[in-house]
Amino acid sequence: MTHHSAHQLVVGFEAAAYGIAGALGSALIAGRLARQAARAQQDAELADAYRDLAVRVRTARIAAAHARRASAARAETARAAEEDELRRLILARVRVTVA
């Protein structure tokens, strides 16, 4: 082998090594980007799930508040009806006593 062809052989191996290193680096970068994209997708899905949960919780709180108000209104109506009935009974008793 001559010096010139040995040098060409080394240059060829070096070029192949750089090519393999470049391909490996590209593959690693592509894998990393794919993992980042997958993680970003998972984060977006998780954020959507949290937003959906927040909407459901808010809807449930609003429904509970409406139910409490309706229950309070029914209790007030019942209390007013009892007071009216008591007033009628007292007035009836007063009429009987006066008569």
CA distances from 24 to 14, 20, 31, 34 (A): 15, 6, 10, 15
- What would the pLDDT profile of 62-91 be if each residue is shown by its tens digit? 999 999 999 999 999 999 999 999 999 999
User: In the chain, what is the straight-line distance between the N-terminal and C-terminal CA atoms, in Å?
Assistant: 143
Query: Residue 91 belongs to what H/E stretch?
Result: helix 3-98
Query: How much is the pLDDT for 98?
Result: 78
Residue 57 lies in a domain: yes
- Residue 56 in this model has a pLDDT that exceeds 80: yes
Query: How much is the pLDDT for 3?
Result: 59
Residue 76 lies in a domain: no
Range of the domain at 32: 1-71
Q: What pTM did the predictor assign?
A: 0.54
Q: Structurally, how many domains does the chain consist of?
A: 1
Query: How much is the pLDDT for 70?
Result: 97
Share of the chain above pLDDT 70, in %: 95
- Residue 95 in this model has a pLDDT that exceeds 90: no
Query: How much is the pLDDT for 2?
Result: 55
| Mean of all residue pLDDT scores within the chain | 92
Residue 88 lies in a domain: no
Residue 65 lies in a domain: yes
Residue 82 lies in a domain: no
Q: Which residues of 25-40 are buried (b: 16+ CB within 10 A; e: fewer)?
A: eeeeeeeeeeeeeeee
Residue 24 lies in a domain: yes
